[in-house]
């Protein structure tokens, strides 16, 4: 496992640019060593690979687009999502804009049997080492942030035994994810520069990925609030990732169940 190439984060625009610069500052002193290799468990990937559309339910307490959403207890929320039929849990660990923290991830991995995704803005190998140490099953890698280093970060994520959800928002980013050898690709409907949501992005790029021969797992992400909206990706996506509408619902198990109703 070689060292990772340096990232040029000054090219990342808008809110996302600010967040990733802050995260890079948080990890400036951390060791860039890859850490010990672990066997691939592929639990996250397997949980999304069934015949039904799977739900990745997100523990999301706040966000740049919504402000404060709900003061969720991470472990109780994850148990509620599990009861509501979620296949996997996503936990935001970014502290300034999403009110996340490492302890939230740690408490969720101890509270549920479901695989857990570390949702953060990965800009340093230490963030992946932490995810493995905290028993996450997967980590998010964003092509808009990692650019041409996506393949190297993917290799390190796999080296640590983790699955990677490789996130894209446009055709050029999809090409990077495919060339990097991603096994799980998430298409974000939210433009992270403007924060605008366009639910036509996921179906379009998911179809394109299949036309390009991608046989792995495809996840539609962001902006889903109703079963009608989820219906737009049934039969196309393997999974949907939903945060704000579930987290702000007041009854997480019921909201998860209702969202998945056909
Ligand atoms: O949610 C935001 O406002 C946001 C802003 C800047 C960077 C990332 C952001 N969200 C991360 C996500 O991708 C979402 O948490 C996730 O896909 C769920 O989206 P939603 O169901 O719309 O909460």
Contact 114, 89 (CB under 8 A): yes
204-261 residue pLDDT tens: 999 999 999 999 999 999 999 999 999 999 999 999 999 999 999 999 999 999 999 9
Cα separation, 20 vs 129, in Å, equals 18
- CB of residue 239 inside a 6 A radius of ligand 1: no
| Residue 58, beta-bridge partner list | 90
Sign of CA dihedral 237, 239, 241, 246: positive
| pTM confidence score | 0.98
Sign of CA dihedral 152, 145, 221, 86: positive
Q: Establish whether 65 is a catalytic residue.
A: no
Q: Is the ipTM of this complex over 0.90?
A: yes
Residue 2 confidence class, pLDDT cut points 50, 70, 90? low
- CB of residue 60 inside a 6 A radius of ligand 1: yes
Cα separation, 74 vs 154, in Å, equals 27
Q: Measure 63 CA to ligand 1 centroid, in angstroms.
A: 7
Q: Measure 116 CA to ligand 1 centroid, in angstroms.
A: 17
Active-site annotation holder among 87, 94, 107, 119: 119
Instruction: For the domain made up of 41-260, give the CATH fold.
Output: TIM Barrel (3.20.20)
């Amino acid at each position: 496992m070689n060292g990772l190439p340096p990232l040029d984060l000054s090219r990342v625009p808008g809110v996302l640019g600010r967040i990733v610069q802050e995260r890079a500052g948080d990890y400036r002193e951390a060791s860039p060593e890859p850490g010990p290799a672990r066997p691939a468990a592929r639990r996250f990937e397997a949980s999304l690979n069934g015949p039904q559309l799977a739900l990745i339910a997100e523990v999301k307490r706040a966000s740049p687009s919504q402000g404060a959403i709900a003061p969720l207890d991470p472990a109780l929320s994850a148990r509620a999502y599990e009861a509501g039929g979620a296949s996997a849990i996503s936990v935001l660990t970014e502290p300034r804009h999403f009110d996340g923290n490492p302890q939230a991830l740690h408490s969720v991995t101890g509270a549920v049997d479901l695989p857990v995704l570390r949702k953060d803005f990965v800009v340093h190998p230490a963030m992946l080492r932490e995810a493995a140490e905290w028993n996450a099953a997967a980590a998010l890698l964003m092509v808009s942030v990692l650019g041409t280093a996506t393949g190297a970060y993917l290799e390190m994520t796999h080296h640590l035994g983790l699955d990677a959800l490789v996130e894209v928002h446009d055709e050029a980013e999809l090409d990077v994810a495919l060339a990097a050898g991603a096994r799980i690709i998430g298409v974000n409907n939210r433009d992270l520069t403007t924060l605008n949501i366009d639910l036509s992005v996921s179906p379009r790029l998911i179809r394109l990925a299949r036309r390009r021969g991608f046989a792995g797992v495809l996840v539609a992400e962001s902006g889903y609030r109703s079963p009608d909206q989820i219906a737009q990706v049934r039969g196309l996506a393997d999974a949907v990732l939903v945060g704000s509408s579930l987290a702000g619902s007041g009854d997480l198990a019921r909201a998860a169940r209702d969202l998945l109703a056909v």
